[in-house]
Amino acid sequence: MISTLILVAALAGSAYSGSCPTPPPVPAGFDITKFGGRWYEVVRTSGFTENGLRCVTADFILRSDGDFNTTNSAIRKNGEAAIEHGTANRVKGGPADELKMVSSTIPLPIAFYIVDTDYDTYAAAYTCIGVPPLFTYETAWVFSRKNTLDEATTKRLTDLLTSKYGIYESSLEVTNQTDCTYTPFP
C-alpha cells in the first residue's frame, strides 16, 4: 500500500495542492513504539494503484533499534495477493510523529506523518511529496486496529484530514474490508 501506491496515486492527482501541510503537532508523551503492530486501512485517498485494492493491512514491526520494518498486504481486483516490504524509520532530531518510509519497490524516502492516534483503536496519517510550491501530492489514510472503525471516529478523522491537512473530501474512499482472509502479523 504505502510507497509504490502512494507514488502512483500521486501521479493520478488524487490530491493536489502546491504546498505540503504543516506537520502535525506532537502530543505530549507521544510514543511512536506504540504505533507498532497491525493496522487495517479503513479510508484512503483514491488513486490509480490502490484502486480496487481490498483487505489492505499495514504492519509496523518494531525492531530492537526502535525503527520499524513494514509489510503492506492487500488483495487486488483480480483476486491476487499483493505484498510489499519496507522500513519506516524515525527521523533523527525530527518530529516524533514522523516516519521516513522506504519500500522494496520505491527506495525513495517518503515522509509519513501520524496526525492522530490512540495507539489501540485508530490512527490517521498522511504523506506529501513533490516540489513545493510547484507541485505537491498528498495521500492520507484512516487506520483501525480492527477491520472496521465506528462512524463517529471515522468522521472525526476524515474531517481532521480535510480541514487541517489539505485532503479533498471527494478524494477519500472507504477500503473494502469484507470477506477478507488476512495473513498473520509477521
Ligand X SMILES: *[C@@H]1O[C@H](CO)[C@@H](O)[C@H](O)[C@H]1NC(C)=O
User: Is the bond preceding 133 in cis, omega lying within 30 degrees of 0?
Assistant: yes
The residue to which cell 507541485 is assigned: 135
Nearest-approach distance from CB 180 to ligand X, in angstroms: 8
Q: Which is nearer to ligand X, 22 or 104 (CB)?
A: 104
Among 54, 100, 145, 164, binds ligand X (CB under 6 A): 54
Q: Which is nearer to ligand X, 85 or 164 (CB)?
A: 85
Among 8, 23, 26, 69, binds ligand X (CB under 6 A): 69
Question: Within the chain, what is the greatest distance between any pair of CA atoms?
Answer: 44
176 binds ligand X (CB under 6 A): yes
Nearest-approach distance from CB 24 to ligand X, in angstroms: 27
Among 34, 63, 146, 155, binds ligand X (CB under 6 A): 63
Among 8, 61, 96, 111, binds ligand X (CB under 6 A): 61
51 binds ligand X (CB under 6 A): no
Residue 73 near residue 57 (C-beta atoms within 8 A): yes
Query: d(Cα 117, Cα 90) in Å, to the nearest integer?
Result: 17
Which residues inside 127-166 make contact with ligand X, applying CB under 6 A?
none
Q: Which is nearer to ligand X, 50 or 138 (CB)?
A: 50
- Per CB under 6 A, residues contacting ligand X are 54, 61, 63, 69, 176, 178-179
